[in-house]
Each structure stands twice: as C-alpha cells, then as structure tokens.
Chains A and B, each alone.
Chain A
Amino acid sequence: MSVATKILRPFFFPSFTSGFFIRMGTVALSAYLFFGYLCIPFWVRGASMEPTYMDGEFNFCWRGRYFFSEPKRYDVVTVRFAGTKVMLLKRVVALEGEQVEFRNGKLFVDGREEEEPYIRFPGNWNLPVRQVAQGCVYVVGDHRGMPMENHYFGQASKIRIMGGPVW
C-alpha cells in the first residue's frame, strides 16, 4: 500500500467508528460556536462605508475586540439590531459626552474640526450640534457623498456594539 493511499484513504473514506463521530461532533460544535458567536461571517450590503468597505465584500465580525476594552474614535464597529443576523457597519466618530456636528460636510467634535483621511466621497452635510449621551458612541459611515437623509447614522448604545471587522 502506497503512502498516499495510506493517508488519503482514511481521510476521504474514514471508517465510521465511535472515535470518528466524537471527532466530527467536536469539530462541528466548535465551528458552530466559533462562527456563530465569536467570529461571525457577514457580507457588506450597501454603500455607506465605501470606499473602506465596498458593497458585496465578505468579512468576519470579531466579537472579542471589545471584551476588555471600549470602542475608540475611528474604530470601525458592527452595531446589532435585535440580534446578529443583520448588523450595521459604521465608524465611531465621537465618544460619550462629546459634542458632534457637521458643517458643510466637515465633522466637528467639541467644536474642533476632525481630520478624516478615510473619506474619499465628501459631501455637504449640515447637522446641528448634539451631545453624545452616556453609554453611547456616535457612529457614521465613510461615504459622505450620499444624501444625509439616506444615510443611517447617529448615536448607538455601546451595548449594541458587537465587535469589529477582522480586516
């Protein structure tokens, strides 16, 4: 019996022993827990984060990112609705207690204009000053070229932040 047959045959045509079923069960359960709760695969739908994340891209939401830390400014985060099946992908632009506003498309936090190197499609948004509530962060997409009315953004409770994209 050749080496290839010795290795490949049991790999592709395993004998259904109790050990095989235990291994298979362990792998299936680990994969279910890992990809279902810890590193959730998702497709990007919509253009609100372009060009950083393009419509149709694939990624994973790593939930461990904020296990021991808080979301920071400019982090890209996933925000959940009722669960993790559909989530929003947005960028944190202001933290709790800060004042945020848009003037002619420029972002101002606590009255200071912010540098946003990730913006490739600037717009002319105008949004009066508002304070980010305690326990919340202010999230916005990178695509500011789209009309403000069509762009879903605002302050989100930190409880809703599930993690961030792996890449």
Chain B
Amino acid sequence: MVKGRLILSGFILIAGLLAVVHLYPSEEKKIKKQFSLLAKWISVEQNENVFTIAHKMKNMGDLFTDKVNLKIPDYHLSGEYSRSDIISYASRARLPFSQFTLQFHDFHMAFPDSETVRVTVTGRITGKWLKEEALEETRELDWILKKVGKEWLFREMEVVEVLKK
C-alpha cells in the first residue's frame, strides 16, 4: 500500500516537472524554436502556391529585427538590411528550387547579456534545383539574436569560413 502510494507520488512529481518544463520553456528552448521556425518558413515544398509563399515569407520576416546585419561572402551580401530586404532576398533565393530544406545542428549559445544571445550553429541545406540537380551544402553560422518583448529575433548573421581557399 505504502509502496503503491510512493510510486504514484513519483509519477505525479515527474508529470508535474514535465508540465512545468513544457509550460515554461527555458530561453535556450525558445531560441531553438526560433531556428526551427526559420527553417520551416524558408523551406520550399513542391507545388507551393503564391498564397503559401506569401504567408511563409511574412512569417519568416517576423523572425527578424527591423535592421539585420548580414555577412555572406559566398553570395556577396554584407552590411545592414531591412526586414523587407531580407524577405525579398529570401523570396528570390527560393525561386530556383523545387524543393529546399534547412536544418540546424550543434547549437552553442552564449549570453553576453540578458537581452542578447550569440548562437554558433551548423546550417545544412538540402534541395533540388528546378533542373532536378541535387543541392547539399553545409556552413557554420554565427547568429546574434536580440530579445524584443518576449521574443528572440534574429539581428545578425555571419557565415564562418571553415575552409579558406
């Protein structure tokens, strides 16, 4: 009887802890969620219609601050861009693909202050060009996110040169 009560109390305690973790996610979890949303909105699925694309791009734009610093030497992008610039670049970048997915791995987070986080992450893109050729590229990315209200928004992004030709 006592053993049964102990087991039941253990289960209730574990369920309670899981509920707390789920309802009050840590800052790390919130940040990782922003990355998974970015990957979701930037992805290209086959036969997407104009409305889906517009919806995705709008949602993707909402993940960024008003001004965003980018440094992507491979695509000759460097400097400060507005949110609408980001949407416009992303829309154009998605055009030649019939399928496109972005995945993030190996998150390393550092908090210089409570409103800023620096995230070093591996970004892997896979996809298919409209010409049916496959695409697979991996890069290390350095992001800075700022906390605006309750949300973490992307403020800076730099592609780290792992191999220097």
Interface size on A, residues (CB 8 A): 21
**Residue numbers in B under 8 Å from A154 (CB-CB):** 163-165
Known: A45-B136, A46-B136. A84 touches B106 (CB 8 A): yes
Lowest 3 A-B CB distances belong to which pairs?
A83-B106, A154-B163, A85-B105
B34 contacts A by Cβ under 8 Å: no
Chain B residue with Cβ nearest A157:
B162
Known: A88-B163, A127-B165. A82 touches B120 (CB 8 A): yes
Interface size on B, residues (CB 8 A): 19
Q: Among A84, A127, A156, point to the contact of B163 (Cβ < 8 A).
A: A156
**What is the CA–CA distance of A57 and B141 in the complex, to the nearest angstrom?**
27
Interfacial residues, chain A to chain B (CB-CB below 8 A):
45-46, 79, 81-86, 88, 90, 127, 130, 136, 139, 152-156, 160
B contact patch SS:
strand
**Residue numbers in A under 8 Å from B136 (CB-CB):** 45-46
Q: B162 and A81: CB pair below 8 A?
A: yes
B139 contacts A by Cβ under 8 Å: yes
Q: B105 and A155: CB pair below 8 A?
A: no
- Interface residues as binary, B147-165 with A (CB distance below 8 Å gives 1, 0 otherwise): 0000000000000101111
B36 contacts A by Cβ under 8 Å: no
B122 contacts A by Cβ under 8 Å: yes
Q: A82 and B165: CB pair below 8 A?
A: no
Besides the known contacts A82-B122, A88-B162, A154-B165, 6 further A-B residue pairs in the complex with CB atoms under 8 A apart: A81-B122, A82-B121, A85-B105, A88-B163, A130-B165, A152-B163
**Residue numbers in B under 8 Å from A136 (CB-CB):** 164
